[in-house]
Chains A and B, each alone.
Chain A
Amino acid sequence: MFVNIVILIGLVCAALWTVMTRSLLRSAMGLALTSAILTIAMFRLNSPLAAVFELSVCTGLISVVFISAITLTHPLTQTEVIEHMKARMRRFWYLPFLVISIGIILSFVRIKFNLPLPGAEAETDVRNVLWGLRKTDLLGQVVLLLTGVFGVVILFKESNKK
């Protein structure tokens, strides 16, 4: 239980750092860090396959996508950067206090939970569930990936007329 609390505090702090940090590149790295801590949390919750997927896809692929997007769009010049940072802090400095206060308020809320839990599941192997029960989802994933391919082809093409 104590390990869980440490992981959760790490998760929230990593997300907070991701949002509040000044440069975009550090933000993308913070996102990767958040994904990594989320992976550890998922391992602790008996979901190893989902954790591995999250690690490889979110920490790896999405961070690469973000970093390539950030480097493809040229960063600001030096004076603009300093101006931007000062203006930014004015908007963002009270986020940590907001988060901590909401956390404290919510921890005092005591809602009763008498929900009956559902019975044991019929199929306990993830691979069987994914291939057997959720075939429609897999079909949907194939369609979505094809859509993504066409989208990337059309959207990432440099405009020749410029």
Chain B
Amino acid sequence: MNAQALHLFWAFGLSIAMLFVIGFYCLFATYNLIRALIGLEILIKAVTLLIVIAGFITNHTALAQALVITLIVVEVVIIAIAVGVVLGIRANNNSLDVRRLINLRG
């Protein structure tokens, strides 16, 4: 790998790592169901950027773009289903607080 690609990889890799930290922190430290979904979204964006940068460095941009397009479609369906489940939980409990989900014990 030449030096310029290495620098690029480092810069992007660093920001992807920071996005992962932000996403995981949001997912684990929140008490609100919808914010947990936002944390998941940030994680998926980080992975999207990782696939695109992998495609750029190896010069296989076409394959990377095809993968990213499929990934985005999959993600939309999963988020739509997750929002449906969250709405159902809200209809039952009248709140979106994770601490109120006590119906299942460990």
Q: How far is the CB of A85 from chain B (nearest CB, A)?
A: 12
* Cβ-defined contact, B1 with A121, below 8 A: no
Q: How far is the CA of A18 from the CA of B88 in the complex (A)?
A: 25
**CB pairs A–B below 8 angstroms (7 shown):** A4-B11, A4-B12, A27-B35, A35-B45, A58-B76, A73-B34, A137-B66
Contact assessment for B14 and A91 in the assembled complex, using a CB-CB cutoff below 8 Å: no
How far is it, in angstroms, between the C-alpha of A95 and the C-alpha of B75 when the chains are bound? 26
User: What is the CA–CA distance of A19 and B84 in the complex, to the nearest angstrom?
Assistant: 22
Q: Report chain B residues within 8 Å CB of A65.
A: 79-80, 83
Most chain A C-beta atoms within 10 Å of own C-beta, residue among B12, B14, B62: B62
Name the distance in Å between B37's Cβ and chain A's nearest Cβ: 7
**Which one of A12, A92, A129, A144 contacts B29 once the chains associate, using CB atoms below 8 Å?**
A92
- CB < 8 Å: which of B15, B69, B73 contacts A145? B73
A104: shortest Cβ distance to chain B, in Å? 10
Contacts of A133 in B (CB 8 A): 63, 66
Q: What distance in Å separates the Cβ of A111 from its nearest Cβ neighbour in chain B?
A: 10
B38: which A residues are within 8 A, CB to CB?
18-19, 27-28, 31, 66
**CA A154 to CA B91, docked complex, whole Å:** 14
For the complex of A and B, the 3 pairs showing the least CB-CB separation, nearest first, are A155-B84, A148-B77, A50-B68
Report B27-77 residues with CB < 8 Å from chain A CB: 29, 32, 34-35, 37-39, 41-42, 45, 48-49, 52-53, 55-66, 68-70, 72-77
In the assembled complex, the Cα of A19 lies from the Cα of B27 at a distance in Å of 9
> B residues touching A (Cβ–Cβ < 8 Å)?
1, 4, 6-12, 14-15, 17-19, 21-23, 25-26, 29, 32, 34-35, 37-39, 41-42, 45, 48-49, 52-53, 55-66, 68-70, 72-77, 79-81, 83-88, 90-91, 96
B-facing mask of A39-66, CB < 8 A → 1, else 0?
0011001110110011001100110011
Cα–Cα, bound, A64→B32 (Å): 19
Task: Determine how close the nearest CB of chain B comes to the CB of A133; give it in whole angstroms.
Answer: 8
User: Would A152 and B80 be within 8 Å (CB), given that A15-B42, A141-B70 are in contact?
Assistant: yes
- Report whether B21 and A102 are in contact in the complex, using a CB–CB cutoff of 8 Å: yes
Residue of chain B at shortest CB distance from A35: B45
Q: Please, which residue of chain A has its CB at the minimum distance from the CB of B90? A: A73
Tell me the smallest distance from the CB of B14 to a CB of chain A, in Å: 6
* Inter-chain contacts of B87 with A (CB < 8 A): 69, 72-73, 155-156
Complex contact B80–A46 (CB within 8 A): no
